Amino acid sequence: MTDPEFKKFSDIIKTPFNDISLLRQAFTHRSYINEHRDAEADHNERLEFLGDAVLELVVTDYLYKTYPNKPEGELTAFRASLVNTISLSEAAAELSVNDYLLLSRGEAKDTGRARQYILANTFEAIIGAIYLDSGYDQAFNFIESNLLYKMSDIIARNLWQDAKSFFQEKAQEFTSITPSYEVLNETGPDHNKKFRVGVYLDKELVAEGEGHSKQEAEQKAAQLALATKGWDK
């Protein structure tokens, strides 16, 4: 992939780069370097390390200033709901980061949980590259445009709370029943399993959720169950 193609990505995110090689490095996975020993670029792990710290500072700064009456515990939960593998990988996918990744042939075939991690890590590496190239303000603008805008919806829909705990709280409040979870189906090879889980109130199947772990599937089922019952308002 050539520098003009990475220039195209910088145009998409409305972030000009003085040193486009930093952006190329942000997209370079360690597996690509292992397979292309003559590649001039380094892999993105150091940029990811830097971007992770910048991301945490930006989100923490934003939450502290935007919600002055919220206690530390709630602010921490808000941040965790926004800065996690699922949220970051979704933000990366929305920017078509997949189209620019430099991966080994083996990694390029994996589209499951491992790809989620790669996308999330690349999103952080992009932040690191922006910070090095243009400074904090530009990194803040990128995070604000592609992540922070989701916070108001997360809070409005109570998605910052642990969905299973919140659904159990609501179920006991309205029905006096403790929800139960059951694996309905498992598909895929051992390294890329996919689970479908149902959440029940007594014998009523309220909702189903899918994920690459039972815990992820249960959380998604609980989120859908909250919406189904109208308890997410």
- Summarize pLDDT for 74-101 with one digit per residue, the tens: 898 899 888 888 789 999 999 999 999 9
Catalytic residue among 52, 107, 216, 218: 52
Q: Where are the alpha helices (DSSP H) in the chain?
A: 3-12, 20-26, 30-35, 45-66, 72-82, 85-94, 105-109, 113-134, 136-146, 151-156, 163-174, 214-229
Where is pLDDT greater, at 36 or 180?
A: 180
CA dist 101 and 96 (Å) reads: 10
For residues 51-68, average pLDDT: 96
- Of 87, 223, 89, 217, the C-alpha closest to 161 is 223
- Of 215, 90, 66, the C-alpha closest to 155 is 66
pLDDT value at position 111?
Answer: 65
Which sequence spans correspond to the domains of the chain? 3-156, 163-229
Give the least confident one: 40-49, 111-120, 129-138, 213-222: 111-120
Asked if residue 47 has pLDDT above 70, the reply is yes
Catalytic residue among 48, 124, 216, 232: 124
Q: SS3 of 84, please?
A: coil
- CB under 8 Å to 161, separation ≥6 — which residues? 77
Asked if residue 112 has pLDDT above 70, the reply is no
Q: Is 202 a catalytic residue?
A: no
Give the least confident one: 4-13, 30-39, 70-79, 221-230: 30-39
**Most confident segment among 30-34, 150-154, 202-206, 210-214:** 202-206
- Could you tell me the pLDDT band of residue 129, with boundaries at 50, 70 and 90? very high
DSSP 8-state assignment for residue 150: G
**Matching fold, domains 3-156 and 163-229:** no
Where is pLDDT greater, at 161 or 163?
A: 163
pLDDT value at position 32?
Answer: 87
Asked if residue 69 has pLDDT above 90, the reply is yes
Fold of 163-229: Double Stranded RNA Binding Domain (3.30.160)
| Average pLDDT of the chain, as a whole number | 89
CATH number of 3-156: 1.10.1520.10
Regarding beta strands 204-211 and 194-201, do their DSSP bridges make them parallel or antiparallel, or are they unpaired? antiparallel
pLDDT value at position 44?
Answer: 94
Asked if residue 158 has pLDDT above 80, the reply is no
pLDDT value at position 174?
Answer: 94
Q: Is 52 a catalytic residue?
A: yes
